[in-house]
Structures are given as C-alpha cells and as structure tokens.
Amino acid sequence: MPISDATREDAQRLVQRYPLARSALLPLLHLVQSDEGYVSEDGIAFCAETLGMTKAEVGAVSTFYTMYKREPFGDYLLSVCTNPTCKIAGGQDIFDSYVEACGGVLDREAGVMVEHAECLGICDAAPVVQINYEMYGPVDGEQAKQLLEKARAGDPPASNWSGTVPPVFSQVQRELSGIEDGVDEYLIGAAREQARAEVPPAYRSGETDLPVSHPGADPAGHGGHDFRDTAGLDLAPTTARGPGPEETDDPGKRRVADEVAEEAHYEGDEMADATAGASTGPTPGVGEQPASPEGDPETAPEAGDSPAAGGEQLSGDEADPAETAGPDEARDDDEEA
C-alpha cells in the first residue's frame, strides 16, 4: 500500500535529525511499519528513495533485525522466550500451545502473531511472555492461555511489571521511531552543529564505498538543505547518487572532500596499527639485519652455538672430533668405547 502523506512528512523530520541521512534508517523503518503494519516492498523503496540508498541495502537491514516484520499480521505480537531458563520453566510448552491455538504462528482473523524470542533479560521471572514488548512473567500455562485469549479479543491486560496496557502494534512502532519524543529541535540543532564542525561527518562509512547522500545533500555527505545552509557551505545540491569528491573540480567541494578523506584515512591507519601492534619504524628484511658487534656480551654467541646461530666454525686440530663427526662415526666411537 502507498506510504501516506503524513508518514512522508514525519520521515523528513526524522532525517533532519542526522548529519548523515542514512543514519535515520532504523527509526525510519519503524515509522514505515507504524503506517503499514509491516515493512513492505513499497516501504523499502520509500526508505531507499528518502535516504539515497539502494533497495538492496534497506532490504538487508530490514531482514536482519527481527523487530521488522515482512508480512502484516494485525494488532498484537506475542513473543515467547524459549531460551534455556524459560524453556526449562515451560516457555517451549507455552509457545507450542499458542501455535496450536492459532493454527500456526499467525491468526489473521484475530490479528495476532506468535514468535519465538531470544533471552528477554528477565530470567528470574521465567517463563516470560511479551505482548507488543510489554513483559508478563512468571506465567504458568493457564495464565499464558488467558494472555492469548485477551490479545485475540483486542483487550490485553496490563503488564505485571510495568503496569502498562500494551498499545496496538502500529502505535508501538511509532513510539519506537522516536517521532513523538518531542526533541526534534534539539536533535536537529545537534546535527547542524556536526555539519558545520571543523571536521564534518565522513561522507563514507567504514564498510562501504557508496556515497552517503540524499536529495539536497552535498558530495561530502552533509545531511541536506538545512545542514548545508546553516553551516554556510556553498555547495550545490546533487542527485541522490551524485558525483563523489574525486569527480568535481570545484575548489570548495574539493577542499571539504579532501579534509574528510584525510581524516578518514588517518583514522583507518591508526586503527590498523592498533590492531596489528605495528611498531614505530619499518621492520628490516632478513638480509638487512645488522651484524652483531664483536665482543658485545649481550649478542656474543653462546658456546656450542652452530654456525647458523652465529657461532664460528673451528677447523683442523682445533675442532673437537666428537663435535665434527657425523652421526655414523659418532656411533662407531661409542661402540669401541
């Protein structure tokens, strides 16, 4: 279904909170889910268009996190913890009873979906069930059955932990997007400060070479008209996938891009050195190792060292026959003795 005009307006407010547009992807997916009830193909395309990303990138994120649903189900999501503590306490039996009662994990007629959940972080209350992320536990089989029945009737009880009656799924997703948290002006102001900082946000992430831009952004990756204008950056708008810094001859763009690239390169080198334990100087090759100074007690060869280890080869009468004899000769000498 098409994304509503109200959601499109809210999406622009979310994007303005970030100096780099693609940073808004997770809250934007929640916002789309609040509109459609799940993340549809239209929702993925909308996020990609809004953030200047590819649909493949958005799809990869939306399928990685289990809180983003890929099919509609209704108003109430029941999550049953089946990790060891809850499973031992009866969590698996609760999940199985839900699946049997619903005829699968979806009861479309009642608008309920059931899912396995990884550890919900409240093991002392095992077994635990959530309705739209509100916690209930510990629950026995009968209590769990009542939770399902009330959710299917559209009248879930208040959580025995928070005291909150779970809102419908679409409202929960709107809350998770952060669009109603009332801090727009602070976050947009913080993003503007980042955009006009001496070292602006990097236009590339550490994991991809795709430009981080969207309509109204500049090649260095600033977050759009508001940020560019406030920061006083006289950079022309580009398309969502406009030219990168290496493709422009404009001195202003070139300067910003060079500063960003230099900063990103420095951080990368620093991280590589820290990871590899690099020394402050180059490591000499095998043929470049300095010779050991003669008479230095710390580097002088130990007695009995082989030539390969730095010892000197004795010759003639100075050599100990036992040391210079081959293995067969040494064995013969032992037998004669």
What CATH number does residue 58 fall under? 1.10.10.1590
Say if residue 265 is in the same domain as residue 123: no
Q: What pLDDT does 200 receive?
A: 53
Per-residue pLDDT of the chain (337 residues; tens, 9 = 90+): 689 999 999 999 999 888 778 889 999 999 999 999 999 999 999 999 999 899 999 999 999 999 999 999 999 999 999 999 999 999 999 999 999 999 999 999 999 999 999 999 999 999 999 999 999 999 999 999 999 999 999 999 999 999 999 999 999 999 999 999 988 888 888 877 776 666 555 544 444 444 444 334 444 444 445 444 544 444 333 333 333 344 445 565 556 556 655 654 444 445 444 434 444 444 344 444 445 455 444 444 454 444 444 444 444 444 454 444 555 555 555 555 4
Say if residue 145 is in the same domain as residue 96: yes
3-state secondary structure of 168: coil
SS3 percent helix, strand, coil of the chain, rounded to 5, is 50, 5, 45
Q: Does 37 fall in a domain?
A: yes
Q: Give me the number of domains the chain comprises.
A: 3
Say if residue 85 is in the same domain as residue 155: yes
Say if residue 32 is in the same domain as residue 151: no
Which residue range(s) make up the domain with 212?
198-271
250 CB-near residues (< 8 Å, 6+ apart): 235, 236
The CATH number covering residue 137 comes to 3.40.30.10
Say if residue 177 is in the same domain as residue 35: yes
Q: What pLDDT does 10 receive?
A: 95
Say if residue 81 is in the same domain as residue 31: no
Q: Does 291 fall in a domain?
A: no
Q: Which run of H or of E encompasses 136?
A: strand 134-136
Closest alpha carbon to 252 in 264, 238, 235, 228: 235
Q: Which run of H or of E encompasses 92?
A: helix 91-102
* pTM flag (> 0.75): no
Burial of residue 142, with CB atoms counted within 10 A of its CB: 0-12 exposed, 13-18 middle, 19 or more buried: exposed
